[in-house]
Amino acid sequence: MEKSVSSPVSIYALGGLGEVGKNMYCFETNNSIIIVDAGVKFPSSDLPGIDYIIPDFTHLKNNRNKVKALFITHGHEDHIGAIPFLIQSIHIPVIYAPRLACALIKNRLEENKLLTQVNIVEYDDLSTIKAGEFGVSFFRVTHSIPDSFGIIIDTPEGRIVTTGDFKIDLTPIGPDIDIAKMAKLGSDGVDLLLSDSTNAENEGYTPSEKNVYDSIVDIFDEAQGRLIVSTFSSNISRIQQILDVAVKHNRKICIVGRSMEKAVEISRAFGYIKIPDDVIIQSCNIKNFRAKDLLIICTGSQGETMAALSRIASGEHKDVKIMPGDTVVFSSSAIPGNGIMIDHVINILTRCGAEVVTNSIVNDVHSSGHASKQEQRLVLKLLKPKYFMPVHGEYRMLKIHAETAMNLGIKESHCFILDNGQSLQLVNHKVTVSYPVESGVTYIDGKNINGLESAVINDRKILVEDGMMTIALSVDSKENILLVPPTIYSRGLINQGSQRSIDECSALVMDAVNAQLKKKTTFNDIKTVVKNVAGEYIYRRTNRHPMIIPVIMSKK
């Protein structure tokens, strides 16, 4: 019998390596590609006007005929948020997702009028799926959202396992992690493991969600006025606990923020959040209740400008204003890069008279959904991989996770710390480094699926940091002379009252343009001269490099 030709399996990330967010991991043979997760990353304050950051799909577009399926591990935005942009870029034959993630994906696609463009199929821990040359099955894990799964990918060349986001919570809000199935996988043999590295720097175990419950009860017991609790709209387990405590303390519940409203609506419809209808009130009715009888739960725990908590703090929300005596609880940890925005909101809340409670040793109001070192060690012991690729983390997290694996006996040469676009190859149960694929980032402003180029982002940064100068020239093209001195407008650079600086810059530009007009020249040459002369002058005066925009009006 003739031996079949080998089809090496390439493993690479288009997002999720060297960063926390925009997770997207791909597995490719000569004929097939399957994708695990398609998430967004939320921009930090140094990316003005950007709504989301998503992976660059160029490699998938160039291999669109090979794409067989998208598999989703769970329903957090950093794993499903890029789906609307992905399915507008390439045809995805089918999306496989757990029950709650299916509902969240469908809602997102319905909002974007894309629901009919893709087939969405629900899976559970008993499902087995054939996608091209890949056999895919699943095991349940615990995380901060229900219905979270690890994924088993069987190929002709060997077995790959990815944990998805997880922690080992022995007293979870919801089903247990399937340790028995993971141990069986380890006994059967795992060639390559991809595992969550977000908390790789933290020794010990991540506290259970049950620990947070006691802290929430204490806060409710002590609060004499309104309680305003902010958390991620996708942290369904936390929301359920907060609402349970509110019901026990006879507080009416007001849900504020579109994403929070939708998350609670979907979770109630599927039975993940259970609260009586009569305890929920609309924001327009909160004035009808005493402060001590109210809970307001909202988004905005990361200080996002347009989120509900920021609008409440700044007085921009039509129904909810901060009052002295309010207790505001941040039931989340800061995403790297968001600390300044969170501090800004806390300062505003405090100035308005609210007592602000954040996660600390004293107030245990948040528990991460990600595994710390001891849980990572346990997973490595259970699954016993021959090769290891840490994922979902900044570079230092990936490196520490790899060191943890090496300390457990995995060879250094068998641990791979990669960047997005770098790839591994699995052939006959052996993993080696392979050729990179095209990767990068796409900046989303609004709903434009094409995204913005880095040059546009750089222009915005220049405008924010260094300001802008427009220099208008009136030129007689026949006589090759300036008709009037240049007119200069500046924003964020030189005060319009600093007329001396404006006049000096105008004079220098006029001399340079007149000299240029004596030569054989073009409008582009004139614009270059204007940028150079004005740029040098402004740098000498302000130590800034503003955006300089020459505008030439020609009389023929």
Report, as residue numbers or ranges, the catalytic residues: 196, 370
- Rounded to an integer, what distance in angstroms lies between the CA atom of residue 121 and that of residue 167? 26
What is the DSSP pairing of strand 9-15 with strand 423-427? antiparallel
Residues in the chain: 556
Q: Given CA atoms 444, 450, 454, 456 in this order, what sign does their dihedral have?
A: negative
- φ, ψ (nearest 5 deg) of residue 396: -65, -35
Q: Cα(262)–Cα(114) distance, rounded to whole angstroms?
A: 18
Contacts of 311 (CB under 8 A, 6+ apart): 300, 317
Question: At 90, which amino acid appears?
Answer: I
Strand order in the sheet with 385-391: 128-131, 134-141, 148-155, 158-162, 190-196, 385-391
C-beta separation of 404 from 415 below 8 A: no
CA distances from 406 to 67, 123, 388 (A): 34, 34, 9
Give the number of other CB atoms < 10 A from CB of residue 381. 13
172 token code pair: 């979870």
**Residue given tokens 């890069």 in the structure block:** 337
CA distances from 411 to 14, 201, 405 (A): 26, 21, 8
Report the run of H or E that residue 262 belongs to, with start and end: helix 258-269
